Amino acid sequence: MILKLIIAATLTGIISGFFITLYELMIIFVTYFIFMGDPLQTIPTLPVWYLYFLPTVAIFIVNYLVSKDANIREYSVNEIADSIAQNNLTLKLKTLFFKIISSTLSLSSGFMVGTEGPSAGIGAMIAYHIHRWFKLPPMLIKMMISVGASSGIAAIFVSPLTGIAFAVEHIAYQFIKQYVGYLILASVIAFSVSINFLNPIAFQHSLGRTFNNEYIVANLIFIPFITFFVYFYLFFKKRILFMIDLEIFKNARRYRNHIFALIGGGAVGTILLLEPHAAFSGKSMVMYLINQQTHIPLVFIFSVIVLRIIGTTVSLYANAVGGIFLPLMSIGALVGYGFGELFSLYVFTVEPFYFAAIGAAVFMGVIMKLPLTAVILALETTFDYNVVIATGISVVLVEYFSQIYFTIQRRNVTRIDRIFRKKRRQKEREDNEA
């Protein structure tokens, strides 16, 4: 059995690494194709109608695919594992294909969702089928889902430790003593495949184990600063859009997806028109901010923050297929960089890219309730004690302050999503019984 598990984990890592690499490269290809080149260069030259037409058509296609196969919708990996373990869900290869197509359309047309959610889902689906091919015991299905999810995250971030931490913290903590070895094996193999084709998020200014005590004051002031933006994000998402979804459209529930597709297409088109840097997943923005040495205007930074918060939340409500890991990191990186610029202007000089790296990890860790993943992400991307220590302190305190007013949950979905999934599961049970 142990040998069979080692082989299964190895195959999961290899196949996931190649699938995720092809998935990322396909997004880049489709983006350049539909925008006729680098979107940041070509968008100013494209007709205004095209910038609205493109995301609107893309999200309507995505919603059509979701209506044909609801399993491609971006849900929690933990929920997928629970559903499979309870025989309430079957992952088909057709679902894997539709998921990749839907996510590629969402991301390449400018919607502010990330690649990590589909990557974890793709890895989970691959592991699920390997579990079936090897005829492993049913009790190991959740462990294999964890192996797949970790390999998907490790491949897309080109970061093995982040993939392992994500799986352990998000889904597989109860299996850590028995099965962490297989998580490590699959994650490292998937990473070794993807690193040959994809670029990791790297911090070029690392001081390693040197700690600058002058940054302590700035780090303490940064905690309430980033907490304010966490409140702003949660307020916009949980109050404004939640109200629109449940109150304004309550009498048009049948057309809910069509209405939000139009809202999503219009919002993304407007953002592309106003500031293309505020669109797409945000990975390139994170890499740029954490390694930027020139000054960026504060007006630009905070306008992009607002646009990305609006775009990210609207994208999720419009059913864009993707995660929020990278979009949240990009918002946090912008908040951190803006803080560094403000602090240097009014107090004493600090390097904004340090706070961009801290903000990226903290914002993601707080909203997704993944503090361990945030710390390991900061460690693996920067290898800098100034970033890692500040991230560890900040992610705990900001999460505490945020939960004074908001209840943050990993399975953060709207009521319509819960109703939709409940009906879908009921229908699947009826079909199985029939």
CB neighbour list of residue 251: distance below 8 Å, 6 or more residues apart: none
Asked if 203 and 384 count as a contact pair (C-beta separation under 8 A), the reply is yes
Over residues 76-86, the pLDDT tens digits come to 555 555 555 55
Q: What band does 409 get if pLDDT is binned at 50, 70 and 90? A: low
Does 210 reside within a domain?
A: no
- The structure tokens listed for 54 are 């493109």
- Return all residues near 394 (Cβ < 8 A) that are at least 6 apart: 219, 222, 223, 226, 358, 362
Which CATH number is 53's domain given? 1.10.3080.10
Q: Which of 190-194, 241-245, 319-323, 420-424 has the highest mean pLDDT?
A: 190-194
327 versus 432: which is more confidently predicted?
Answer: 327
Give the per-residue pLDDT at 78.
55
Instruction: Let me know if residue 434 belongs to a domain.
Output: no
- Are 188 and 69 members of one domain? yes
**Is 322 part of any domain?**
yes
Residues 369 and 399 sit within 8 Å (Cβ to Cβ):
yes
Q: How far apart are the first and last CA of the chain?
A: 35
348 and 364 in contact (C-beta within 8 Å)? no
298-317 vs 215-235: helix crossing angle, rounded to 10: 40
Task: Specify whether 134 is located in the same domain as 277.
Answer: no
Q: Is the pLDDT of residue 423 over 80?
A: no
User: Which tops the pLDDT comparison, 261 or 176?
Assistant: 261
Q: Give residue 373's domain range.
A: 215-418
Residue with tokens 């992009």: 304
Q: Say which residue, 375 or 91, is predicted with more confidence.
A: 375
Phi, psi (5° rounding) for residue 114? Answer: -105, 170
pLDDT for 266 equals 93
Q: Is the pLDDT of residue 219 over 90?
A: yes
Q: Which of 64, 171, 188, 70 is nearest to 124 (CA)?
A: 171
